[in-house]
Amino acid sequence: MLYRSDFKKYKALITDWISRYYDQIEDFPVRSQVEPGEIYGKIPAALPQKGESLEAVLKDMDEIILPGMTHWQHPNFHAYFAANSSVESLFGEMLTSAMSAQCMIWATSPAAAELEERMMEWMRDAMGIPSEWEGVIQDTASSASLVAIITAREVKTGFRSNFDGVPGNLRVYCSTETHSSVEKAMAISGLGRNNLVKIGVDSAQQMLVSELESSIKADLEGGNVPCAIVVAIGTTGTLAVDPLREIVDVARNYDLWLHIDAAYAGTALFLPEYRWMIEGIELADSFVFNPHKWLFTNFDCSAYFVKDAEILIRTFEILPEYLKTPKRGKVNDYKDWGIALGRRFRALKLWFVLRSFGLEGIQHTLRNQIEWTLDLATILKQDSSFEIVRKPFLNFFCFRLVAEGKTEDELNHLNERYLQAINASGDAYLSHTRIGPTYVIRVVVGQTYVKKHHVNNLYRILQKFKSSLI
Ligand SMILES: *Cc1c(COP(=O)(O)O)cnc(C)c1O
C-alpha cells in the first residue's frame, strides 16, 4: 500500500509509462486481437491477501491489460465516432483525480462550480448558442437527453409527475435515425418506450416534418398528450441533420419541448460555416453535445445547455437538511441540474483544453480533419471499385466496395467480409451501418493527432484488403 509521500518515488514510473504508450501507440493493432475470456482467465480469481508492489501491477498492465485494449487514440481509429482526448485533457484529468473533490454543490468546491459556469459560457458563445441559455456538464449525452425528457415531462404535467407518477399517454417524437439513448430515456423516465413515436426520414435520412405534424395531430385526436420532440443534429448512423428550422415551428405550434441531440456534430459549431445546422435554436429548449467525442477532452464530459435553467432546477431539485447552506440561491448547486448528487470536477480538463488550443487551434484542427476526409472520399470516388454511398459531411462519409455482376445481397456480404478483414488485421479500425438494405462502411477521421499521412495510409490499407478479397 502506498502513502502520499510515495508519490514522488513512483511518479516517474507512471509518467514514463504514459510517455512510452504515446510513443508506441501507432505500433499497436488498433482493435484488440484477443478472444472472449482471454483477459478474464489471466486475472486471479481472488483478491490478493497481501498487498502487491506497484511494479508488479504495472508489469501486468503491459502483459495482460494492454493486449486487451482497443486504442481509441490511435490515429488509424476511424470507427464509431471519435472519442478523442489530448495531452492537455489528460493533465487536467490528473489534477481532478489528485484533488478528487465531490462537486455537488457550490460550497463543496466553489472553484469547480464557477469554472463550470464559465466554461459553459465560453462554449455557448463560441458555438452560437443563444446568450441567455445556461449550461451544465453531464456525464454523457444519454444522461443529458434523459434529463431533457424528464424536464419536458414535468413541464407538460405541471410538475406533478415527480410527485404523483407519470401518466401513460405522454408522447415524444424523434426520427427513426435518432440515437437509442432516447428510447432508453423513455423507459427510464416512465414515459414508456411505446410512447416514443419514430418519424420516417427522407433519402438524406432527415426527419420528415409533414409526418411529424400528422403524427402529432393523430395523437391529439386519439387522446394522447404530445410532450416533446428530439431533433438529431448529426445522427449516429450517417450524421444526418434534421431540419431544425421547420421542426421548431411545429414544436411552438403544439407547445412541445424541443431537445437537440448534437452529441457528435455539435463540435462543428465552433466553425461559423456550420452554424446553419442550429438555425432556429432560439425557439428550442435544450441542446447537448459531447466534448468527449470530437473536442479533444477525454471521456466523460457532455455539455448540456438549456434556455430556462429555472425549469431544469425545479425538475431536479431536492433538498435534504444536510445540503442546506447559507449561499443557496446565490450560487449554482449543480446537483440540482441533473441526476447524480456526486459530481466530478470535469470543467478542469475542459479549461486545460480550451485554453491550450484556443478557438483558433480548435478551428484549425477541425478544418484539417474535414479537408482530409473530403480528400480521401475524392480519391475513393475516382476508383471504380468503390462507391461513395453517403457523401462527406464534416469528418465523416460512408462507402462500400462494388464489383460487377454481384447482387445487392452479395455486395452486402462482400463488404461485411472486407470490413472484418481490415479490423482483424489491426491496421485500421472502421465500423459499419446500414442505409436501407445497403451495408456501408463508415469512415470517421477524428482522432486528435491524426495527420494527412495517416489518411493517405488508410487509402493504402483499403487497397490492400480489396486486392486480397477479390
Ligand atoms: C454518441 C451519441 C450519443 C450517446 O452519447 P453518450 O455520451 O455515450 O451517452 C447520443 N446521441 C448521438 C447522436 C450520439 O452520436
Q: How far apart are CA 245 and CA 281, in angstroms?
A: 8
Separation of CA 112 and ligand 1 centre (Å): 25
Decide whether any atom of ligand 1 lies within 6 Å of the 117 Cβ. Answer: no
pLDDT mean over 195-216: 97
pLDDT above 90 (res 319): no
Decide whether any atom of ligand 1 lies within 6 Å of the 395 Cβ. Answer: no
Q: Side chain identity at 251, as an amino acid letter? A: A
Decide whether any atom of ligand 1 lies within 6 Å of the 263 Cβ. Answer: yes
Give the lowest-confidence range in 253-257, 274-278, 323-327, 434-438.
Answer: 323-327
- Condensed to tens digits (0 to 9), the pLDDT of residues 67-91 reads 999 999 999 999 999 999 999 999 9
Separation of CA 249 and ligand 1 centre (Å): 25
Separation of CA 262 and ligand 1 centre (Å): 8
Q: How far apart are CA 412 and CA 400, in angstroms?
A: 9
Task: Answer for the pair 154, 129: CB distance below 8 angstroms, yes or no.
Answer: no
Decide whether any atom of ligand 1 lies within 6 Å of the 179 Cβ. Answer: yes
pLDDT confidence tier of residue 467, bands split at 50, 70 and 90: confident
Which secondary-structure segment (H or E) carries 105?
A: none
Decide whether any atom of ligand 1 lies within 6 Å of the 169 Cβ. Answer: no
Separation of CA 141 and ligand 1 centre (Å): 5
Decide whether any atom of ligand 1 lies within 6 Å of the 224 Cβ. Answer: no
CA-CA-CA-CA torsion sign (263, 231, 311, 218): negative
pLDDT mean over 241-266: 98
Q: What percent of the chain has pLDDT over 90?
A: 96
pLDDT for the residue numbered 174: 98
Decide whether any atom of ligand 1 lies within 6 Å of the 238 Cβ. Answer: no
Higher pLDDT among residues 89 and 404, named by residue: 89
**Nearest protein Cα to ligand 1, atom 14:** 263
Decide whether any atom of ligand 1 lies within 6 Å of the 157 Cβ. Answer: no
Q: How far apart are CA 240 and CA 16, in angstroms?
A: 42
pLDDT mean over 285-313: 97
pLDDT above 80 (res 213): yes
Separation of CA 142 and ligand 1 centre (Å): 6
pLDDT mean over 460-468: 91
pTM, two decimal places: 0.96
Decide whether any atom of ligand 1 lies within 6 Å of the 153 Cβ. Answer: no
| 253 CB-contact burial (10 Å; exposed 0-12 / middle 13-18 / buried 19+) | exposed
Q: How far apart are CA 256 and CA 234, in angstroms?
A: 21
User: What residues form DSSP beta bridges with 135?
Assistant: 305
